[in-house]
A and B are shown apart, each in its own frame.
Chain A
Amino acid sequence: MRSAPRRGWRRGITQGAAAALLLAVLAPVLWLVQMSFRPHGAALGADPVFVPTMANYRALAAGGFPASFANSLLASTGSTLLSLLFGVPAAYAMARHRFRARGRIAMWVLVTRMAPPVAFTIPFFLVFSDIGLIDTIPGLIIVYMTFNLALVIWTMRGFFAAVPTALEEAAWIDGAGVWSTFLRVTLPLAAPGVAATGILCFIMSWNDFFFALILTRTHAMTAPVAIVNFMQYAGWEWGKIAAAGVLVLLPVLVFTFFVRSYLVSGALAGGVKE
């Protein structure tokens, strides 16, 4: 049996290593945060002592960044909700119903993720130009749905498969229909999966740069593109870039914080089969 002081010493080393690792991982974020509060002209300075200022955030608020931020929120939220709306029932159908082409359809859905986004850029650009969807939020939502739907269908299919069919059969015996059983029995049991999938969809849409770069101009420009626009000919506006970077981190942090318990159970669901 090991002595208590030795265990404590080992725990101290482990915790110290964990803290060092955490600091290393968070260092870029922390650097970004401190940079966003540095005064104009000193954004790239390494001096640890400085008078923090909100000037960069005020400059962002006074410019076009809030509109870009709102565009990002609208496009990401819209595509996430619509992807879940269409993808969750589709995943349920593919998990529960036995039909001949089930495997092939699932594979075709996955095919949409097998090519890099750049492969779809030109078709999207040409079609969107013709039908007037360039520089619109609905246009971005449609694009984001194309890669989110595959994620929702494949992920939720696994969650639905993990829900025991006996529960649904019991509901049917009690007189519930297919939709009623799905909405009242299966979906609540798969809620952690929906939350985890929703977060992934939101993050993927939120972080998109390439499609937003090509398919928007001014009206629907998203936050990641707006940040690159701070790289001006007369100089890179480092303070604004840092402040905008911090603001872009926030929604994902807040969203993840509120659904973190779902996220953990969602990630673990189906890990152990009974």
Chain B
Amino acid sequence: MGSTIGRRQVLAAGTAAGGLLALSGKAPAAGGTKPLKGVTLNISCWSAPYPLLLAKYIPEFEAETGARVIYTTPSFPIYNQRMGLALATRSDAYDVVNVTFIFIGQWIGAGWVLPLDSFIANPKLTPADWNAADFFPGTTTAFRNAAGQLCAIPWIADVMMGGAARYDLISKAGFAMPDNFSEMPKMLAAVNGKDGVPGFLTENHYGWTFPGYLQGFGANIFRNPPHDLMPVLDTPAAVEAAGFFSDLLRKFGPRGALSYTYDEVVAALKSGTVNYATENEAFVTQMAQPGSKVMRTCGFSLFPAGPAGRFPQVATHGWGIPAGSRNKDAAWQFITWAMSRKLLLRMFREHGWSSVTRRSIVELPEFRSKLTLNGFDVAKMYLDTVDLAAKGYMAYRTVPPYPEVDRQIDIAIQGIVSGEKTAQQAMAAAQRNSIVQLRRAGVKL
């Protein structure tokens, strides 16, 4: 009688093999399995609309994968303080972190977060349709290390643009939204004080709101960032830019214009107590949302161009994997899920999240129509701005010692607007003090 393999033996062998695979942790993912069962992922991002929105979807990720997610969203200063220490010590405390824009140079430059190219290229870890090339180059450029490797996946493009709370007053005075620096003062002079509304305002973080003007006049913060960090704040173009910007605040700003923080600027715009501002897209578009008093009168434009061109400031933040993480593959799985086209589209459709970084979503007709506010195609402005940032003019902001210079710019603009100093004196002082601070921070000039 020849030996034959019966149905029962095949089933038994199959069960045993499956059991062995499962015990070794190598069981292939299949329908109904939980590939990350037993894995705990520690994930943190500073508190902003997108990460707060993402928290609503995380239970779905846990249910799909079996992972347990510990997700924290502290405020911006707390997040950066905690993360600086955790990353610097190569701690395994976090598996997925937000790579903060102003710390890109430090965190990526020091190798505290991992290059993601090998994850992206691995078909076992990245779905074929995930398409990393879909993210705007203007946002991914900042997250590349010296070797050109991508170290974070951008979740926001915070772009600066022009916004008017009372566009009705502007058009009544015979003007359109200003497209360049020469149109701005003319338009503001015509509408300033109309209906008791002051013309112009920006938040008092001038290290963020002023560089667009500085670069528009052909000046810059550093000589050639990130390679040559010698400040160039006292050039004739920089002085001219500082004088121009300060004049806008002094002549057309509300009383106490120097005291306005970003939330106060948003509140002033939404209540119609100030007319025009150059601010972040996420802030100015709040004018068109329900609850805003200027919902029907607001207008939008690209950040105005200067004599040297248009330099709207763009900040971006992205998800990265700390070098000390013990769950790198699982961390990447979370990032691919969080930044998948499918989820971002749901966030847009279900909650109106609009600062997306995937071109394929921004170009959708439904996105374009939803971001057409009072007849202004804000989606196009957003796309154009992000594309401009791909030129690399934001490099000054991703070098570790920038915060030192940022403070000097704040002081200089305050000095000019308050009348304590001329633009020449204030920018010369900013230049001197920046050099001192940078040398103190160990930068060789």
Residue B75 lies at the interface, judged by CB distance under 8 Å to chain A: yes
Which residues on B sit within 8 Å (CB–CB) of A41?
Answer: 267
Residue B122 lies at the interface, judged by CB distance under 8 Å to chain A: no
Query: Which of A125, A213, A229 sits near B47, CB closer than 8 Å?
Result: A229
Q: A233-B46, A233-B47, A234-B49 are in contact. Are A217 and B85 (CB under 8 A)?
A: no
Q: A121-B85, A122-B85 are in contact. Are A232 and B47 (CB under 8 A)?
A: yes
Complex Cα distance A134/B85, Å?
A: 13
Residue B333 lies at the interface, judged by CB distance under 8 Å to chain A: no
* Contacting pair B76 A122 (CB below 8 A): no
Residue A28 lies at the interface, judged by CB distance under 8 Å to chain B: no
* Contacting pair A218 B49 (CB below 8 A): no
**Most interface-central of B47, B74, B267 (chain A CB within 10 A):** B74
* Contacting pair B89 A126 (CB below 8 A): yes
The total of chain A residues at the interface (CB under 8 A) is 21
Query: Which of A122, A218, A228, A234 sits near B263, CB closer than 8 Å?
Result: A234
* Contacting pair B263 A236 (CB below 8 A): yes
Which residues on A sit within 8 Å (CB–CB) of B48?
Answer: 233
Residue B149 lies at the interface, judged by CB distance under 8 Å to chain A: no
* Contacting pair B85 A214 (CB below 8 A): yes
Closest to A229 in B: B75
Complex Cα distance A141/B70, Å?
A: 23
> Shortest distance in angstroms between B373's beta carbon and chain A's nearest beta carbon?
19
Closest to A215 in B: B82
Residue A15 lies at the interface, judged by CB distance under 8 Å to chain B: no
Which residues in chain B, 68-92, are within 8 Å of chain A measured between CB atoms?
Answer: 70, 72, 74-78, 81-82, 85-86, 89, 91-92
Which residues on B sit within 8 Å (CB–CB) of A122?
Answer: 85, 89
Which residues on A sit within 8 Å (CB–CB) of B267?
Answer: 41, 235
Which residues on A sit within 8 Å (CB–CB) of B85?
Answer: 121-122, 125, 214
Q: A213-B81, A213-B82, A214-B81 are in contact. Are A232 and B89 (CB under 8 A)?
A: no
Query: Which of A134, A214, A218, A232 sits near B75, CB closer than 8 Å?
Result: A232
The total of chain B residues at the interface (CB under 8 A) is 25
> Shortest distance in angstroms between B289's beta carbon and chain A's nearest beta carbon?
12
Which residues on B sit within 8 Å (CB–CB) of A228?
Answer: 75, 77-78
Residue A182 lies at the interface, judged by CB distance under 8 Å to chain B: no
Residue A231 lies at the interface, judged by CB distance under 8 Å to chain B: yes
* Contacting pair B75 A125 (CB below 8 A): no
Which residues on B sit within 8 Å (CB–CB) of A225?
Answer: 78
Residue B131 lies at the interface, judged by CB distance under 8 Å to chain A: no
Which residues on B sit within 8 Å (CB–CB) of A262?
Answer: none
* Contacting pair B93 A235 (CB below 8 A): no
Residue B266 lies at the interface, judged by CB distance under 8 Å to chain A: yes
Q: A213-B82, A214-B81, A214-B82 are in contact. Are A229 and B91 (CB under 8 A)?
A: no
Residue A129 lies at the interface, judged by CB distance under 8 Å to chain B: yes
Closest to A128 in B: B93
* Contacting pair A129 B91 (CB below 8 A): yes
Q: A217-B72, A229-B75, A230-B75 are in contact. Are A236 and B261 (CB under 8 A)?
A: yes
* Contacting pair A126 B91 (CB below 8 A): yes
Which residues on A sit within 8 Å (CB–CB) of B76?
Answer: 231, 233
How does the 8 Å CB contact mask read for A236-254 relative to B, with 1 for contact and 0 for none? 1000000000000000000
> Shortest distance in angstroms between B58's beta carbon and chain A's nearest beta carbon?
14
How does the 8 Å CB contact mask read for A9-43 relative to B, with 1 for contact and 0 for none? 00000000000000000000000000000000100
**Most interface-central of B49, B81, B263, B266 (chain A CB within 10 A):** B263
How does the 8 Å CB contact mask read for A121-136 relative to B, with 1 for contact and 0 for none? 1100110010000100
Query: Which of A129, A218, A232, A234 sits near B92, CB closer than 8 Å?
Result: A129
- Chain A residues close to B by CB (< 8 Å): 41, 121-122, 125-126, 129, 134, 213-214, 217-218, 225, 228-236
For this complex, 25 residue pairs linking A to B, each with C-beta atoms less than 8 Å apart, are A125-B85, A125-B91, A126-B89, A126-B91, A129-B92, A134-B93, A214-B81, A214-B85, A217-B44, A217-B70, A217-B72, A217-B82, A225-B78, A228-B77, A229-B47, A229-B75, A231-B75, A232-B47, A233-B46, A233-B49, A234-B49, A234-B263, A235-B262, A235-B263, A235-B267
- Chain B residues close to A by CB (< 8 Å): 44, 46-49, 70, 72, 74-78, 81-82, 85-86, 89, 91-93, 261-263, 266-267
